[in-house]
Amino acid sequence: MSTHALIQKILHKIGDPKIVSKLAQNLSGSEFNSLMLEVFKQRAASVSPSELLRNYEKNRFTLPASSDPIRILERKLNWLQAAKIKGFEPVTCSPAAPFGSCSSFGTVNQDKVISAVRGTEIMADATNILALQLALSHKKDSKDLKRFATTHRHIRAQHFDQPNFTAHFEVFGMASGGVDSGSFRFEKEELIAHLSLILHLLRHSFPDREFRLAFYLKEKPESWKARLENWLQDSISIPMTFQEDPEHHYYESFQFKVFLTHEGHLIDLADGGLVDWTKMLTGNQKHRCLISGIGLELVEKLASNPLP
């Protein structure tokens, strides 16, 4: 049954076809929160211990991960220490994010996020929160360049057909923010800073493997290709490819991905690029933001179970 058909069935059962719009539009945030707290309290009162156990066993959002927690924690510590040495300030993010953190400025459908009460949602992407932190820092000191790094256990609501993709997973994220000083200085310096740290961490995890860097150009492809090649020719010594990708608008100007090569196949381990999030958050069109992330848990699984 489609989502639309399911909603229509529920509305018919309730007997009020306008109840969704009434709840979404006619209530303030605090009123909606109070109502949902009462709904959840009444529904929780009817959950028996045996039902709770059945739900725990079947719910893909709540079961433990299969990864070794000690090795994950060790990797998190090592990567954050390396980031701090490279000038990224480690941040401990909350498990909760403000409601709309991914859909408001990150172009992600709210259906892919687990929405919660009290104006929150479960963290689905830490780089969005780092962007919020960059915007707050900009309000306090508009001239300073800021670099943040974090590790976080993300949880995503969309269903994956691939059995190796789990609903919750550990990631390493970075974000840089600052005011444009001209000549693409921010873009150049922060791209090199992010890629250098990403490759340092991945090479330490896979010392005998090769990597490839792919750029997906969102606008003015010839200009950006020449610019990126010029910036990276002396600092990033891995094969690079470029392709036009104007259809996807999560990033602006360019996106990059770092792949591990294995028997002719490419394994996607990291990605990043320029985003316009802090422009929207601060209202300052000169503010720049570059984000990136590595699948920390994926790296740990591959490194702990070496590829043949």
Dump the DSSP string for 134-187.
HHHHHHH-TT--EEEEEEEEEE--S--SSTT--SEEEEEEEEEEEE--STTHHH
Q: Burial code of 38-75, b = ≥16 C-beta within 10 A, e = fewer? A: eeeeeeeeeeeeeeeeeeeeeeeeeeeeebeeeebeeb
Number of other residues whose CB lies within 10 A of the CB of residue 268: 12
Cβ pair 128, 101 in contact under 8 A: yes
Mean pLDDT of the chain: 91
pLDDT band at 307 (very low <50, low <70, confident <90, very high): low
pLDDT at 199: 97
Backbone angles phi, psi at 92, to 5 degrees: -95, 105
Read off the pLDDT of each residue in 26-41 and give the average, rounded to a whole number: 92
pLDDT tens for 178-198 read 999 899 999 999 999 999 999
Residues 6+ apart with CB under 8 A from 255: 215, 216, 218, 245, 248, 271, 272, 273
DSSP E strand boundaries for the chain:
89-90, 96-98, 120-122, 146-155, 168-179, 211-217, 240-244, 252-262, 265-275, 287-294
pLDDT tens for 44-93 read 999 999 999 999 999 989 999 989 999 999 999 999 999 999 999 999 99
Q: Any long-range contacts for 180-186 (C-beta under 8 Å, 24+ apart)?
A: 180/286, 180/287, 180/288, 184/227, 186/145, 186/288, 186/290
pLDDT tens for 205-225 read 998 789 999 999 999 999 999
pLDDT at 161: 63
Supply the pTM of this predicted model: 0.90
